[in-house]
Each structure stands twice: as structure tokens, then as C-alpha cells.
Structure 1
Amino acid sequence: MNTPQKPAQTFWGLWNTSFGFFGIQLAFALQNANVSRIFQALGSKVDDLAFLWIAGPVTGLVVQPLIGHWSDRTWGRFGRRRPYFVAGAVLAALALLGLPNTPLLIAAALFLWLLDASLNVAMEPFRAFVGDMTPPHQRAQGFALQTWFIGAGAVLGSLAPAAFNALGIANTAPEGVIPPSVRYSFYLGAFAMVAAVAWTALRVREYSPAEMAAFADEPEAAAGHEPLVYPARGPLWMLGGAALLGVVLALGLDKQLLVLGGGLVAFGLLQVVVRARASTGTLAQVISDLAQMPRAMRQLALAQFFTWVALFILWIYTTPVVTREVFHATDTSGAAYNAGADWVGVMFAFYNGVAALAAFALPVLARRIGNVRTHMVGLGAGALAFLLLLVIRDAHLLLLPMALVGVAWASILGMPYVILTRVLPARKFGIYIGLFNLFIVIPQLIVATAMGGVMRSFFPDQPKWTMLVAAVVMAGAVIAMARVEEQD
């Protein structure tokens, strides 16, 4: 008897599978382009911005692997991945409604935590969802269309404040108040988030576990689970974290680094406890999967780490760099500052628009030179973009480096996942993509805890030099990609 192949999706099948990412990325774009603006309007200093963003990476460290693990094992009347991204969409919408309406900086930071946690809950299963719903030969096309939706949503989210201002809605407000154009943009994001995710949830029927196991092109979907592995390096992680805590306290370094040291100690302690108890629960399984990552995934992780250090710097510091260096403004309630902040939204929209177009060009290039080299080209464009952001002082010329960022962003959103899906077992798409995303959130945590201290120590009141740091680490990502062994 012939074993059935997983059927290829039609164009509209791929469209429906990825449409929810439009709303998710619109929300991400509003966050990336406007949260620093909101924090500054509520009284935050420039060198404190990174620490206020810390909620996202801390949450992602916990949420992404757990959601991936649970979604791999979920099946009910509402499906496998859908319950997670629907719940995440609803919670993210609530956070989008609350974030621009609070007068308190601490409350804004808490709403950012809720927003980032919810977006993680919604986004992580969507990556695995594309793998679930497409046969192996169609996944590059599926991730390309997903990248297009990410770019389209980000364009709308980034342009929203400037568009509302063009309609006559004020983009300035008294000190301590968020401009109406920003508030209305977040309301738009809340609606789009729920509507887009609901479209995918209602239009796509997921394959059951039995159907996945029966497909001939997903032979590993039915394979047995690997034995649990208990890493023995927990004490080393604890020792490293304790050493960092001691150095910070002894030398009086930035107290934000205590968060990083404490995280290392906690990670090591968790490994020690799991190993000592020979646990078989969820945390033990996640740690075991982390220890058994495929070789290609380990190689990609280093490049991913450097890449996202640079991206997080871009999202945190572009607003203060552009408003200070190009619009010569530091008063967050003034017209010049808010015009500069709006222009950052235009810049982010532009790079996402370029990414939406580049998403379909990169697979063509990949067929010629391979996925790894294609990603190296994309990351190289990003490194050059950061150098240009350091030196360009004309607002319109800033669109040139943004075009290069767009090429890099398209590659970052697609190429690593195309490479990964060649080596990941189908039954573990969720957990391994969740673990791979740790190498997105760990660099965010490092930037959030360390970058403020770096700014105060080396370039106080000169945020432009953060772009040089970003250029160097993005070049490191290119070098790391050269080590990745691509598999057919």
C-alpha cells in the first residue's frame, strides 16, 4: 500500500496559513518603533531605555521553549497550534490598548512585558505551523510568504503614527502624555492582531497527529522519543553566574548586570535539580532537547546570537540617534523630537517594505549560491547598513541604510528556518524552533542589561556609537554563518 504524501498547499492555502503573521508583526512594529518613544515621554533617560526593554527577553527565555514543547503535544477540538496563537493574540490586544494610555513609567514597562509575552505565545507556534502544513519541498515558499506578511504588517505598523498625523491627529502632547497619533496606532494594532490571527484560525484545518505520522515525507513524525539527557554542566553555569554577580558588586558596575548573573545561576541550578532528581517532567524534556540540538542548529545558533544583538540595538536606539543627530532634538514633548520619532516610523516601514519584496528574491538567489551563502549576503548588507546609520545626517538619505536593513531582515526571517527544517524531526518542530528562538532572546537580554552601562561608560549622551557596536556584531554573524554546514 502506498503511503500518502503530505499534499502541497495552493497559493491561497499558504496565504491563509501565514496571514495571522500580518497582525502579529503589525503589533511588533508598533512596539519596536514606539516603545522607546513612550518610555522617553514618560520620563525615561536615554541610557535607561535598554533596561526598560528587559521584560521581553526574560519572558521569551521561559515562554518560547515551553509553548513549543506544549504545542507539539497538544491536540483537541481546536487543533494543535491554534489555541496558543489565538490566546496570545487576545492578550497582546489587551496590552496594546493599555500601553499608550498609562501615565506611569512602571505601568508602561509592565504592559510591555504583557505585550512581549503574548506576542511570544502567538508567534512561536506560527513558525512551527508553516512546517506542519507544508511538505518539505514547499517550506521555502511558505516561509517566503510568511516573511511577506511580516513585512506588510510591519510597514503598516511603522507608518501608522505618521499616517494618523497626516489625517490631522496630533503627534505631540504635554510632557508625560502619549500623543494621540500613537494611541490610535496602538488601537489599530489591537484590532489587526485579533482579526488576522482569527482569519488563520478559522480558515485552516490542522493535520491531526495520526495524519502527520502517516505522511511518507514526514517519517520522523512517528518515531519514538529520544531518551532524556541530563546535562552535567549546571555547576559551571552557576559558577559563571556567581562570578559575574561578584564582579558587579565588587567593582560597582551597572546593577542591571545583576539580572544577567542571576539568570545564569538560575539556569545552572535548574540543570542541577533536574539531573539530581532524574526528572521526566516538562522542564527536564526541554533541557534534554536543548542538549540534543542537531549540529546544524548549533552552528546557526551562534550566527543567530550575533544577529539579534545588532537588531535589538537598532530597535532601541534608532529613535534617540535620529532625533538627536538628524533632527537635533532632545525635548521629548517638542515638535522636532516628535517629527524625528515619526520619521523613525517611516524608516522602519521602509525597511520592512524592502523586506517584503526581498523575501521572494532571496529564494531565487539561494537556488544559485545556497541558503548559507544567501544568508551571509543578507547579514553583510545589515552590517553595512549600521555603518551608514553612524555617519549619515540627512533624513532622506537614511532610507539607503534602511533598504540594506530590509534585505538583512528578509534573510533573517526566512533563511535560518529554511536551513533548520531540513534537519529537524517533524514531531519536534515546536520545541526546536522555540529553543532556536532562545538565541534571539538571550542577546536581547544581554543588550537590555549591559548596553545602558556601556553607553554611560564609553559614550554618555552619544547614542550614535551604538550603531558601530551593531555593525561589528553583525559582521560577527557573517563570520559565524561561514561555519554552518548546509545539508541537502
Structure 2
Amino acid sequence: MKQPKLSFWQVWNVSFGFLGVQIGFALQNANVSRVLSDLGADLHSLSLFWLVAPVMGLIIQPIVGSASDRTWTRFGRRNPYILAGAIAAAVGMCLMPNSPIFVAFIAPMLFGGLMLALMDGAFNLTMQPFRALVSDMVPAKQRNQGYAVQSLVINIGAVVGSILPFVLTNVIGLENSSKAGEVAPSVMWAFYIGATALLGSVLWTVIRTKEYPPQEYSAYKGLNYEEEQRLNAEKKSLAEKLSGFFKLFMSMPKTMKQLAIVQFFSWFALYILWVYTMPAIAQNAWGLDSKWFDSSYLSSLEQIPAHIAQAKGAAGDWVGILFAAYSLSAALFSIVLSKIADTFGRKLTYSLSLLAGGLGYISFILFDDPQIMHVNLFITQVDVPVGALGLLIPMIGIGFAWAAILAMPYAILAGSLPANKTGVYMGIFNFTIAAPQIICGAMAGQILLHWFNNQAIYIMILAGVAMVLGALSVVFVSDNTDTNKENLAEELEHEAHPQQS
């Protein structure tokens, strides 16, 4: 039975919830280092706080993926998980910037870390079923389009989330600097708005996307409905579940293993971008000494000099503009990404995109002119260093890389996965996202402290080298998804019915 082709707006509705999820992610990525620094975190310890994100992904995504594969309710298969995650993420987004309020019960920095864990856990609870939903609903011939639309929606959300604090400061007039142990008002309100957008967009997808009922889904995906129902109804012990998961992990498609190498270098670089862009540009473009990011030194002062607080606030806001720039670049690139991939192949498109991102990272060090320039951004006018303005150029290349990272691995991988195991394998594939971030988080702070003497610009160059290595690794990826799918289906069939062999 042939799965029906979707209209553009049906494909759009399936992915629309990513808009709000990515607004939340963008606010987190651009502002959590700033928030934790304001609450008292050392520069070299920021990467340890950020370990919460990949650890939560490592734990939650495979569990949710496996559970959603076996879930069939009148509300859908993936939708219940998507909505539950969105509600939890919105709660975390509202509580995190209010960490100082809870000082009587728990240290603000610790509470901020806990809310980061809640937000990331909830984002992962929402994100994993979303990726599986796209694979469920979009037929194979529209797969490039489906993941390109997903990338487009994600990056529109990233633009909105990234610029929110800047807009609230420079257009609305909210304060962007903070006192020691507090969070800037512009950041607080940005998180409130982001939480509202997250819930609204997810509700749109949940309401507008009607998932296929079990029998219809099985027919479209070539599955035996009765056999699937029997397998889902089986009660298994925890040991049996872990054993089954380990077997799936060990029998993952060859393509997934090859993509894991590319993912390692890509996400190692992205982790550094999100954690260290703010201190890197504050030091390199605004000319701030690294001591202004040392909590021991700051605690020895009665108060932070006004011009330092103002510069750090301005740099923090400009990170939002830079992240919006790479997200806008990614959104525009996403519009043509599927056509480019169809014409030149997914591997070449993927590799060249990562190369553009790597060169963008490395070029950060060139933009160090501290001379102040008056800039008209259409929505407002600001005074920023020439070097900070020039950083918009490398963000174009980073945007190309980000668009490809969001779409190409999943487009390459999706066709190699069995339809009845898509959720759990997408969860397992998240290991290739979480593991490099965990490794980076454990290493980056020490590298920054001992190798680079807390000069954050040099760790951005390290990230660029990693991204270039990712581009080279794409060469070794096999994009023969149909063959992989057939081989994996035969292996799983053999495991389910060994007596037939």
C-alpha cells in the first residue's frame, strides 16, 4: 500500500512545532552561559554545567524513542510525548531566570543548573518524537523536502529566539546588564516569551497533524500489523529490555556508524560555539581581559565597574545577533538545500557545508578591531566594535553547516531504518550528538584554562579544526539507504524468528 504524498502545508504542519522548540533552544544556547556567569560560574567551569544537556539527551531520547514506537493512543503515537515535553520545557524556561528568588532554599547557581537540566530533559522529550514523526508521516520520495522544511522551521525559530534579548533591550528598552547574582530583565522576559511560543507552536502541530492509525501505518511501511501488535503486547523484564536495546545498538546500520564519526566532529564544534562565543567575542572584539570572567577576582571587588558590566551585557546581546545571523543563513540555505542535495548528492552537499562552517570558526580570530562603529540594524541603531560587526561574515558559513547538520544526517539515515524501530534508532542516533558534547564538556574547560590561558578565542579555532575534520569524514559515509534497510530488516527478522533459519 503506497503512502500518500503530502502537500507542502501538511509537511509544514508536521514540523511547525520545531519553531517553538528551537526558540527555546536558541534562548538557552545564546544566554545560559551568560546567566550562569551572572550567577557566579567560572569561565572554565561553564562547559561542565553544559554537560547537563547531552547527558539528558543520552538518557532520555532512546527511552522515549522506544516508548513512542510502542505507543498507540487516540491522540496519536508521537504527539503525547511531544506535548508533555513542551509543557515541562516551558516550566523550566520560566523558572530558570528567576533562580535568585529561590536563594533561601538553594544556591542560585545550583538552581540554575537544575533548571537547565529540566529544560534540556524536556527539550529532548519533545525533540526525539518530533524527528520520528517526520519519518512516520513523510513518504520516502519527499524525505529530502521533509527534513529541509524541518531545518527551515528550526532556523526561523532560532532567529527569533536569538534576537529576543537584543530586541527587548534596544527596541523595547529593558535593561540588559545585571548586578552580581542576578539575571538581566531583558533575558528574563525573553525566556517568558519563548515559553509561550514553545507551547503555542507545539499545540499547532499536535492539533493539525493526524497520525496514521496502527493498521494504516503498518500497511504504508510494509509491516505485519498482527505481528507488531503481538510484539508490543509482550511483557518484558528490565533485563530483557536492556538486552534487546543492546542488540539493537550493536546491529545498528553501517551508515549510522559512519555518520557517528562525522557527528562527533560536528557536535564537538557546536558545543564550543554555544558555550564560549560570548566570552570569546567579549575578549577579542570588546577587548575585555580574561580576569573579568574569573569569579574569584570578581568576588574580591565591591562592585563590577559600570563600563565592564555594560561591555559584557553588550557582548551578550551581540551573541544573540550573531546566532540569529547563522540561523538566518541556515534558514535561507534550507530553502535550496533539498534541491542542491538532489542535484549534487547528499554527501557532497553535507561535506562542503561543514567545510564552510569550519572556515567560519577559524576566521573568528581575524575580527578583533575594538573601534566603535554606529550601526543601523533597521529595528534599532547600536554602537558596537568593528570586529564584532565583522563576525557576521563567518556566521554565514556556520549557518550553512548548521542547516546541513539538521537535515543531511537524518535524510541519509532515515531510509536505512526499519519502520517499526524508527523511534528507538533515532534515539540511539542521539548518542552521536550527546557523546561528543559530553567529551567536549569534560575537556574544553581544562583546555581553555591550561592550554589557552582562558583566552576563549583560541578554543573557537579548535572548534573550526574539528568541523573541517567532520567535512573530511563525510567522504567515508555510505549513502546506499535502500541496501542498508533491506539488510537490517533481514537481521531483525532473523532475530525475531531464529527457528526459520
Same topology, TM > 0.5: yes
- Of the three residues 268, 272, 279, the one matched with 1:313 is 272
Gaps of 5+ in 1: 229-273
Structure 1 segments, 4+ long, off by >3 Å, are 220-225, 329-333
Q: Which amino acid aligns with 1:424?
A: L
Structure-2 residue corresponding to 1:279: 239
Kindly tell me: are residues 197 and 19 of structure 1, through their superposed partners in 2, closer, same or farther at Cα, counting changes over 3 Å? same
Structure-1 residue corresponding to 2:315: 340
What is the Cα deviation at residue 363 of structure 1? 1.5
Structure-2 residue corresponding to 1:354: 329
- Aligned-partner Cα distance in 1 for 2:261–2:215: 35
**Superposed CA offset, 1:131-154 (max 9, x none):** 111110011111111111100100
Q: Which amino acid aligns with 2:255?
A: A
Q: Which amino acid aligns with 1:188?
A: I
- Say what the alpha-carbon RMSD is for the aligned residues: 1.8
Q: Which amino acid aligns with 1:189?
A: G
Q: Which amino acid aligns with 2:160?
A: L
- Aligned-partner Cα distance in 2 for 1:87–1:222: 27
* Secondary structure, aligned partner of 1:416: helix
- Aligned-partner Cα distance in 2 for 1:158–1:184: 13
**Superposed CA offset, 1:58-84 (max 9, x none):** 111110111111111111122110111
Structure-1 residue corresponding to 2:222: 219
Greater Cα shift, 126-135 or 454-463: 454-463
Structure-2 residue corresponding to 1:270: none
Find out whether 1:176 has 2:181 as its counterpart.
yes
**Superposed CA offset, 1:327-351 (max 9, x none):** 1236476111100110010000011
- Of the three residues 383, 391, 401, the one matched with 2:394 is 401
Aligned residues: 433
Identity of aligned residues (%): 41
* Secondary structure, aligned partner of 2:239: coil
**Superposed CA offset, 1:400-420 (max 9, x none):** 110100000000000111101
What is the Cα deviation at residue 278 of structure 1? 10
What is the Cα deviation at residue 43 of structure 1? 1.1
**Superposed CA offset, 1:430-484 (max 9, x none):** 1111111111011111111111111222112211111121112112211211101
- Of the three residues 55, 69, 73, the one matched with 1:58 is 55
- Aligned-partner Cα distance in 2 for 1:65–1:59: 11
- Aligned-partner Cα distance in 1 for 2:285–2:331: 27
* Secondary structure, aligned partner of 2:94: helix
- Aligned-partner Cα distance in 2 for 1:60–1:221: 31
Find out whether 1:189 has 2:203 as its counterpart.
no
What is the Cα deviation at residue 224 of structure 1? 6.3
What is the Cα deviation at residue 392 of structure 1? 1.8
- Aligned-partner Cα distance in 2 for 1:418–1:69: 20
* Secondary structure, aligned partner of 1:485: coil
- Aligned-partner Cα distance in 1 for 2:208–2:58: 31
- Aligned-partner Cα distance in 2 for 1:461–1:405: 23
Q: Which amino acid aligns with 1:40?
A: S
**Superposed CA offset, 1:77-122 (max 9, x none):** 2211011110000000000001111121011001000000000000
What TM-score, normalized to structure 2?
Answer: 0.84
What TM-score, normalized to structure 1?
Answer: 0.86
Structure-2 residue corresponding to 1:138: 142
- Of the three residues 19, 23, 39, the one matched with 2:36 is 39
- Aligned-partner Cα distance in 1 for 2:185–2:288: 20
Find out whether 1:375 has 2:334 as its counterpart.
no
Contact 1:69 1:431 in 2 (8 A): yes
Find out whether 1:387 has 2:362 as its counterpart.
yes
- Aligned-partner Cα distance in 1 for 2:164–2:27: 8
- Aligned-partner Cα distance in 1 for 2:159–2:174: 19
Contact 1:221 1:425 in 2 (8 A): no
Kindly tell me: are residues 153 and 122 of structure 1, through their superposed partners in 2, closer, same or farther at Cα, counting changes over 3 Å? same
Structure-1 residue corresponding to 2:372: none
Contact 1:19 1:149 in 2 (8 A): yes
Find out whether 1:159 has 2:163 as its counterpart.
yes
Contact 2:284 2:367 in 1 (8 A): no
- Of the three residues 470, 475, 483, the one matched with 2:476 is 483
Structure-1 residue corresponding to 2:104: none
- Aligned-partner Cα distance in 2 for 1:119–1:107: 18
What is the Cα deviation at residue 198 of structure 1? 0.7
- Of the three residues 91, 94, 98, the one matched with 1:97 is 94
Q: Which amino acid aligns with 1:325?
A: N
* 1:196-345 correspondence to structure 2 within 5 Å: 196-215=201-220, 218-220=221-223, 279-281=239-241, 283-329=242-288, 331=292, 334-345=309-320
